[in-house]
Structure 1
Amino acid sequence: MSRRAEAPVRVLMPRGLAALARESGIGAAMRHQEKAVRALGHQVVTNPLRGFDVVHLNTPFPDTPLLARWARLRRRPVLMWAHSTEEDFRDSFPGSNALAPLFRRWIAHLYRLGDAVVTPSGYAKQLISAPAYGIRTPIRVLSNGVDTSFFRPDPQARPRLRAALGLEAEATVVLSVGMQLVRKGILDWVELARRMPEVTFVWYGRTDPRLLTAEVERALASAPPNALFPGYVQAEQLREAYCGADAFCFLTKEETEGIVLWEALACGVPTLVRGIPLYREAMPDGVLTHQVSGDGPEFPAQAAARLRELLGGELEDLTEAGRRAAEGVDLAEVAQALQEIHTLAGVRAHAKARSLTRAA
């Protein structure tokens, strides 16, 4: 994927409570980081009691500040990934809107523990640069990236996807991926399926039922028969879905990047997204994606009209442009940018750290 670094280092990416984020976007981002680290010839260490040269911290869980302070005691640089903001915490779980200001104070405290903060987009950097976060350390932008050698177009996937879903060979399939949250657009997505009974809508991903809000529970319980929820699937099945779908419809209301969108673009599927600030700025309507803006009672009707245009071939084909853009954030490119961040943060190999872990 990339040339090996001349001075390999040991990168601590502790498991701990991070395992709780396995099925989330943060979990995917961490897996991408591991691939980028290894592509550079570095070693990933998961046990904080072993020797390490730098720590990457990604989750807003209670063990994160302990791990940051442990690294400081060892005089090792701390890179804090800012995947979360107050904005994308809202409309997530029961009580999240009321807790959002407290959550912002908590993540701001965590981010301030880093020798550098890494965030996946310029939009996210703008949000966490606000005075309320109080971050004085450098904030670097580094995409979470996508493995374009894995997520790539496959014209043969169309019949396989329909067979796997038990659909007719000519069925029109529209895909979305993510946790089942209001923020991810699940309410509008279900209403969109209701307005387009001639299309099969498939949502991959799940949320622990104990964390579903009442309105999401009602939406899932009352979803029309053309709305399917296969749950969380492995990457191979997800790739098959991207490549076999007629469109990817991502109605999220807030993102710091959205790895699933890069995966869809890498697979060459026509894409419709909600025109949130991140996508309006980073990929204006009609450049990499087609977009529909708004958030209200009229939104599902507007989205349905736009989606019919996309499925009917009335909108410009942007799939080649989307694939090229995804190649620009391939994990090989991300790895090289990560190496630059390591250099700026003063990351270096420690002989003592290597000797402590030679048998690990």
Structure 2
Amino acid sequence: MLKTSPDVRRPRRDVPADRSRPAGQGPSARRPLHVLMPRGLAGLAAQSGIGAAIRHQEKAVRSLGHEVVTNPLRPFDVVHLNTPFPDTPLLAHWARLRRRPALVWAHSTEDDFRDSFPGANTLAPTFRRWISHLYRRGDAVVTPSEYSRDLISAPKYGISTPIHVLSNGVDTSFFRPDPGARGRLREQLGLDADAKVVVSVGMQLVRKGIVDWVEVARAMPEVTFVWYGRTDERMLTAEVCRALAEAPANALFPGYITAVELREAYCGADAFCFLTKEETEGIVLWEALACETPTLIRAIPIYRDRMPDGVLTHQVAGEGPGFAADVITRLTALLDGELTDLTAAGRCAAEEVDIHRVAQKLQEIYRLTGVQPHGREAAFRDAEARSTETRSTGSRNAESDGAMSRGAEGSELTAGAADATAPVLPRRGAADARLDAAR
């Protein structure tokens, strides 16, 4: 059950309801929210998909006219919790003490924790119990895809609060096609103008498909393969360390790059080859599609079901020794222009999850969760709005009474004006009294 403060559940008795507007259009509906997105340990995830998701949320919140608050000691109306770190349950408890709703983002599942860091497969059940504990701390859970919602809806997660699906989104005004990037990318990489370039983006994990990706690169020496993103060497598995150490000369690893450089890579590449084995969404795929980069991905359930092969992306199914050979065949055909051009369809699909569209759905989640403005500033703006409306009403009354008294003696006109303003004064005083009380 949603835990909210009494003033969320019941109208305040000292503030009469404004019945002159439809529901949701009164002064409080126009007030911006203070959305707490605490930094805390979230900085540890800055270079991961979760870090990108947090940045997208901040853009969405601001596009709605709300204010992002990063200090939990400042006033806030709702908190977004994104990371599976130890400070998350503490922040959820703090929100409950303040009687503010907490939205917990389910970016991670037991499935996508596997094949990530050393010992991850052994720890996966423990990790699932931990994130289940975190997700249950929220008044609502938000997850980026129907696929991930199906996973965390399983009884083993024990989530009874509402689960909303909301894409992490993509900024399609930033990630957009740029034909001039092709030459710039090759110049940056020190390649010939006609060199073929295939890129991928992500942490260097078995789950992200980097071992298969290196094998594909070794079999295609005439193509330059570039992997953007990195993982702390202490967190690399032996299999990934071996793949990186034995990578061929045509496989490059520039590490973590800026968003502008990443856009250049998408727009300048001949193909985006994303061989991830498990995702809850995959922001980098939406970025590549937004840039109209020809894309080849592994046909994992989330992509196979949501975007079948040949609709938005080209896909290769399978695992094991034969998988890399199938990728090589399909990627060669893609680079040679033998496969259907799906880039326009990919761009249209990315626009459907543009951050501004995601923001509108986030606003609806706020409404369903009962998020409302609180605090002295909210009371001040309510009182100010009501006072303004009252003065406007009084002014209209004065004009009406004045019109009725036209042609009468000056003393009668003065009396009429006095009668018109008389009802206004007590209302203004009442608004001021409420403001003083709020202070």
TM-score normalised by the chain length of structure 1: 0.97
- Secondary structure, in 3 states, of the residue corresponding to 1:55? strand
1: distance between equivalents of 2:319 and 2:33?
A: 47
The answer for the alignment partner of 2:41 in structure 1 is: 17
Q: Give the alignment partner of residue 322 of structure 2, picking from 298, 301, 312.
A: 298
Q: Partner amino acid for 2:293? A: V
Residue 95 in structure 1 maps to residue 125 in structure 2: no
Q: Which runs of 4+ in 1 moved over 3 A?
A: 352-356
The offset of 1:7, in angstroms, is 2.4
Q: Give the alignment partner of residue 174 of structure 2, picking from 114, 134, 150.
A: 150
2: distance between equivalents of 1:156 and 1:52?
A: 44
Q: Partner amino acid for 2:82? A: N
Which structure 2 segments of 5+ residues have no match? 1-28, 381-439
The answer for the alignment partner of 2:14 in structure 1 is: none
Q: Give the alignment partner of residue 81 of structure 1, picking from 105, 116, 119.
A: 105
The answer for the alignment partner of 1:242 in structure 2 is: 266
The offset of 1:354, in angstroms, is 6.0
Structure number having the greater helix percentage:
2
Q: Partner amino acid for 1:72? A: R
1: distance between equivalents of 2:215 and 2:268?
A: 23
- Secondary structure, in 3 states, of the residue corresponding to 1:135? coil
Deviations 1:162-187 (A, max 9, x none): 00011111110000000000000000
Task: Map 1:160-179 onto structure 2 (within 5 A).
Answer: 160-179=184-203
2: distance between equivalents of 1:72 and 1:104?
A: 23
Residue 108 in structure 1 maps to residue 132 in structure 2: yes
Task: Map 1:1-360 onto structure 2 (within 5 A).
Answer: 6-352=30-376
1: distance between equivalents of 2:188 and 2:336?
A: 24
Which structure 1 segments of 5+ residues have no match? none
The offset of 1:329, in angstroms, is 0.3
1: distance between equivalents of 2:134 and 2:155?
A: 15
2: distance between equivalents of 1:154 and 1:214?
A: 38
Q: Partner amino acid for 1:244? A: G
Aligned length: 352
- Tell me which of the two structures has the higher relative contact order, counting C-alpha pairs closer than 8 angstroms and 6 or more residues apart: 1
1: distance between equivalents of 2:141 and 2:122?
A: 26
Q: RMSD value over aligned CA atoms?
A: 1.1
Q: Given that residues 51 and 353 in structure 1 are in contact (C-alpha distance below 8 angstroms), is that contact kept between their aligned partners in structure 2?
A: no
The offset of 1:355, in angstroms, is 8.7
Percent identity for Structure 1 against Structure 2: 76
